[in-house]
Structure 1
Amino acid sequence: MQKLKTFILDAYDEMKNKVSWPKYSQLQNSSMLVLIASLIFALIIGAMDYVFQNGMDLFYKEF
């Protein structure tokens, strides 16, 4: 049990004193970048799915 307590205290100390946390403005910029990139990828994948689905519908109508 002592090892667990030591681990938790050491982890807390490292997170508080040794980790360099980003500034709030940097965090906002990074979040916006991730949001925009995710939307772009979603639109690209959605467009590919739409084109593939319509292509397959046309293909199956012929046979």
Structure 2
Amino acid sequence: MAGFSNYITESYNELRNHVTWTPWAEAQRLTVVVIVFSVLFSLAIWGVDTVFSNVIEYYFSLVKS
């Protein structure tokens, strides 16, 4: 159990004293960029899925006839 306690203490020390954190304003800006990109990417995937779905439905309607 002492090894685990030592690990937690050293990890906390590393995060507190040796990690360079991104400034808050930059983190907010980058978060907005990620959200916008995610929305645009999901809309693009939705559009491609809709087109392929319609093409497949059309193909099967031709085959069925």
TM-score (norm 1): 0.94
Q: What is the distance in 2 between the residues matched to 1:39 and 1:32?
A: 11
Identity %: 27
Alignment coverage as a number of residue pairs: 63
Tell me, which stretches of 5 or more residues in structure 1 are unaligned? none
Q: CA deviation at 1:2?
A: 1.3
Q: What is the distance in 2 between the residues matched to 1:32 and 1:62?
A: 45
- 1:13 aligned onto 2:13: yes
RMSD of aligned Cα (Å):
0.7
What do the CA deviations read for 1:7-54 (whole angstroms, capped 9, x no partner)? 110000001111111111011011011101101110110010000000
Q: What is the distance in 2 between the residues matched to 1:13 and 1:2?
A: 16
Q: CA deviation at 1:5?
A: 1.0
Which of structure 1's runs of 4+ aligned residues deviate more than 6 A?
A: none
Tell me, which stretches of 5 or more residues in structure 2 are unaligned? none
**Matched ranges for 1:46-61 at <5 A:** 46-61=46-61
